[in-house]
Amino acid sequence: MTKNDDYVYNIMSMSKKFCGLILKTAYDKMGSTSDISVLGKSMLDWVKLSFGDAPVGVVDEDKSIDLPLLCRPFALEGYDYIVVLYSDTPLITRKTVQSAVEEAYNSGRNVLKMTRGYVLSCAFVHNSDKIYTNDTFYFDEEDFITAFSFKQVGLITDILKNRILDYHMEQGVYFEDLAGTVIGCDVTIDPGVVVGHNNVILGRTRVREGARLGCGNNLTDCVIEKGAFVEYTHAVRSYVGKNCKVGPFVRLCEDNIIGEGSEIGSFIELKDKKIPAGSVVKRITRE
According to the model, what pLDDT value does residue 11 have? 37
C-alpha distances (whole Å) from 279 to each of 171, 232, 257, 263, 282 are: 34, 19, 12, 6, 10
To which H or E segment does residue 152 belong? helix 150-170
DSSP 226: T
Chain length of the chain: 287
pLDDT at 75: 97
- Give the model's pLDDT for residue 286: 54
Q: What digits encode the pLDDT tens for the residues 21-43?
A: 999 999 999 999 999 999 999 99
Give the gyration radius of the chain's Cα atoms. 24
pTM attached to this predicted model: 0.87
Cβ atoms 181, 187 nearer than 8 A: no
Q: Output the DSSP codes for 69-125.
A: HHHGGGS-TT-SEEEEEETT-TT--HHHHHHHHHHHHHHT-SEEEETTEEEEEHHHH
122 contacts: CB under 8 Å, gap ≥ 6: 19, 75, 76, 79, 80, 81, 82
With a cut of 50, list the residues of the chain below it in pLDDT.
1-14
pLDDT at residue number 287? 52
Q: What is the pLDDT of residues 265-281, one digit of tens each?
A: 889 999 999 999 999 99
Domain boundaries, the chain: 3-146, 164-286
pLDDT at residue 4 in the model: 40
Question: Is residue 149 a contact partner of residue 89, using CB atoms and an 8 Å limit?
Answer: no
3-146 CATH choice from 3.90.550.10, 3.50.50.60, 3.30.590.20, 3.40.50.720:
3.90.550.10
Contact 262, 275 (CB under 8 A): yes
Return the sign of the alpha-carbon dihedral for residues 132, 136, 142, 148. positive
Superfamily of domain 164-286: Hexapeptide repeat proteins (2.160.10.10)
- What pLDDT is recorded for position 16? 86
